[in-house]
Structure 1
């Protein structure tokens, strides 16, 4: 009898999971060497010990590729790319697989418990600001870190492949990441709400094409109001200054509008999908009806 019950429950689990949304994973499988796009790039944090580097190698699934280009990101790199502290200890590491034009950016964090401040949506937003396009990115760390150094590693990977990213855009992207993590940490705003706020401001900038700092301020205030987010005057000003810098760099967010929509739309699509919830409800109801019939058959 126990075997029958176990098989029945297993069948339900399989039926139930068939209705769940499937996560999108960065492409990391063994696909051979792509002669058009080049080898995957792995950038290790310089502060990793040999044992930690070995662990990160496993986390980034490096052995799934026939060959990779390997680099190390250092404190000097963070100074060169974004004007950071050259004495910084770099732990977070990344793997980048270049994709065809139009594929966009796909980011996954292999060790979410060890990347304590930066979410994948924050990385996504910052990379769009920096001008990074069309790549699968996998981030990992063997120790708990904020996750900031991974961004520098991505910049170094692109530079190593001969893709020149604008220095000013990289610095603004790093400032964006600092603002995002600060709002989540100091203001207590949910990380997802922070990412949504930054994304909605960019979408509004793309739509309205503001010409002055005053217009940027209006957009920031409107989006804070729309999302019911309360910030200190200091942090409101940080947001205004940040996006005014972006305005002065003439970043064209229309070029990445689809990705900005995806950043805010994914969860809402699931929540608002009546068909999904109807199917799930029907599946649960059918399960309990079948369960009742099953036990009746066993004990009668």
Structure 2
């Protein structure tokens, strides 16, 4: 009898570990560039390959990004020297597999990020890329990210910097690109260390940056207040370490040479996109009858087990 009671109690304890299933949304479509009308006012589409790719891996990435021999897309490679150029104290010996295709768009079009191999980009989300790219000064482009095997996705950002400069002829501010890279690292750290859903992290970063753009905080204490307000508003709990990392990052962002008036509008667009994704996830959870049926069945088995002990 005692062993059976222990087993039942253990089953009840397991209920605390039931997690709501979160579905990841990342586009698996690619642009058929050969079928597009070329806008001669803009730069050409360009693909940047990770410098560590083997020939077979590069061929796989080409296929994922829709690059063929007659596509007319310029192709370049990111190297360790580029990492050192765009990221302060960047590791020039880093292994580089993440690759991307950049297609410039008309002013005001905003950023569209498609991770075309979502199964292989394991840490960085499309929202994290969007946030970091806005911080770096990249705007009005469609970006497709791919990798031939499982990677974190961090190195794609430096490749995007290089491709953007080559195709648009615009020089990115190295201070902004460095801070943007730090932002990507902080975002993935928070998602992993504090067990915060990656889309919730994207929403948090966007909302804090919106408030920085609107309030223009004068001191680090003002930045900390904004961070704490948004953490409370979004009901996100961080460790002291992650909270401090976030405050330090946002303080750096607040001191960048950014047109915050224009930035605020771009962040509002990004915020709307993230909230739409979160709403879709919630709707899918509510409509996931299979999940709720399994929960009901789980509890029924526990109740039946208890009834068997005392019936």
Q: TM bucket by the smaller chain?
A: 0.7 to 0.9
Per the alignment, residue 180 of structure 2 pairs with 173
**1:197 correspondence with 2:194:** no
- How big is the shift at 1:266? 3.5
* Structure 2 counterpart SS, 1:163: coil
TM-score, scaled relative to structure 2: 0.76
Paired residue for 1:188? 195
Q: Distance in 2 between matches of 1:234 and 1:185?
A: 13
- 1:152 deviates by 0.5
How far apart are 1:232 and its partner, in Å? 1.3
- The one of 100, 116, 120 equivalent to 2:126 is 120
Deviations 1:7-57 (A, max 9, x none): xxxxxxxxxxxxxxxx79675442154322132100001111111100100
Using the TM superposition, name which of 135-144 and 75-84 deviates more.
75-84
Check whether the contact 2:117–2:147 (CA below 8 A) recurs between aligned residues: yes
Q: Which residue matches 2:44? A: 39
Aligned to 2:86: 81
Q: Counterparts of 2:151 and 2:245 in 1: how far apart (Å)?
A: 24
> Structure 2 CA distance, aligned partners of 1:50 and 1:129?
33
Does 1:110 pair with 2:116? yes
Partners of 1:28 and 1:201 in 2: CA distance: 36
- CA distance in 2 between partners of 1:142 and 1:271 (Å): 28
Distance 1:63 1:253, change over 3 A: farther
In 2 relative to 1, CA 152–65 (structure 1 residues): closer, same or farther, beyond 3 Å? Answer: farther
Residue segments in structure 2 that go unaligned for 5+ positions in a row: 1-26, 288-311
Would the alpha carbon gap of residues 270 and 128 (structure 1) be closer, same or farther in structure 2, given more than 3 Å must change?
closer
Change (3 A) 1:144 1:166: same
Runs of 5+ consecutive residues of structure 1 not aligned to the other structure:
1-22, 281-300
Deviations 1:246-298 (A, max 9, x none): 1111323431334322333236458879xx99xx9xxxxxxxxxxxxxxxxxx
How many residues are matched?
254
